[in-house]
Amino acid sequence: MEASVRVEKLGPVTLVTLDRPEVRNAVDAATAHALHQAFLAFDADHEALVAVFHGANGHFCAGWDLQAGAQLAAQQHPGAALADLDFSAGDDKPQGPMGPSRLLLSKPVIAAVSGAAVAGGMELALWCDMRVMEEDAYFGVYCRRFGVPLIDGGTVRLPRLIGMGHAMDLILTGRKVEAAEALQMGLCNRVVPRGDAREAAMALAQQLAKFPQRTMLADRMNAYQQWDLPLPEALRLEWERSKHRIADGLEGATRFAGGEGRHGKF
């Protein structure tokens, strides 16, 4: 594992930490590969139920490492070098330029966002299922000013998450989006005090880990896979995947009838 990526197993929660303080956790090629491998390992770990993705030293991720990009541009034949970045769409576990951004995992990942989550770092946060954001953290397509494209799902996930109007505003202007506005437009799910994102994301992950997992994961996957389907086909897929979880629901109904989980308690 690349030294800039740390993985800790804390019961059913896996904490993945990006740690490149000298560049505000910007991602180079080695770090992208390490992140990709870390999340594949999480997905394959039967004891791990939820992951928290965290940036150390006060920032989530400042995007792609432009210093590495400058070194690439200085090469004699940069076009040939760029061919090495042609990530195969046919791979069943594809790696994006920022790492895991082209994976659809079978289990949820929660982003704990502090400081900057910009450019490719914003795309990594969008890749996660939920985002817990500190009150002084911020998003932004900051790569707009340098002509660096969004190629880690930003132009796909952003409109789906916050709608086309908000997405075009952010994609075209590259402006800064602070926590209060991010919450209002649905770009994040929770806003917490400065320094609390990791702790709050871990608490949320522990909550998710306590639910009946097979039903939750079936509902999650149905929500992801309905996007490109006509309504009748999406409803059929929902039924085919989730009908096997009806027995779980009936068992839960029995627990409810016995007095468990009343009045909104979990």
Residue 139: name the closest of 160, 169, 100 by CA. Answer: 169
* Contact status, residue 182 vs residue 158, Cβ threshold 8 Å: no
Sequential DSSP letters for 199-238:
HHHHHHHHHHHTS-HHHHHHHHHHHHHTTTS-HHHHHHHH
CA gap 48, 130 in Å, rounded: 17
pLDDT score for 72: 61
pLDDT score for 83: 46
pLDDT score for 80: 47
Angle formed at CA 9 by CA 6 and CA 13, multiple of 5 degrees: 110
pLDDT score for 146: 84
Could you report the per-residue pLDDT of 27-86, keeping only the tens digit for each?
Answer: 999 999 999 999 999 999 999 999 999 999 999 999 998 777 666 666 655 554 444 555
pLDDT score for 265: 65
CA gap 203, 207 in Å, rounded: 6
Residue 187 carries which side chain, given as an amino acid letter? L
Could you report the per-residue pLDDT of 195-224, keeping only the tens digit for each?
Answer: 999 999 999 999 999 999 999 999 999 999
The overall average pLDDT reported for the chain is 89
CA gap 142, 105 in Å, rounded: 27
Residue 157 carries which side chain, given as an amino acid letter? R
Question: Above 90 in pLDDT, residue 148?
Answer: no
More reliable by pLDDT, 187 or 75: 187
pLDDT score for 23: 92
Phi, psi of 99 (to 5 degrees): 120, -105
Beta bridge partners of 233: none
Q: What is the CA radius of gyration of the chain?
A: 19
pLDDT score for 232: 85
Provide mean pLDDT across the span 154-179. Answer: 96
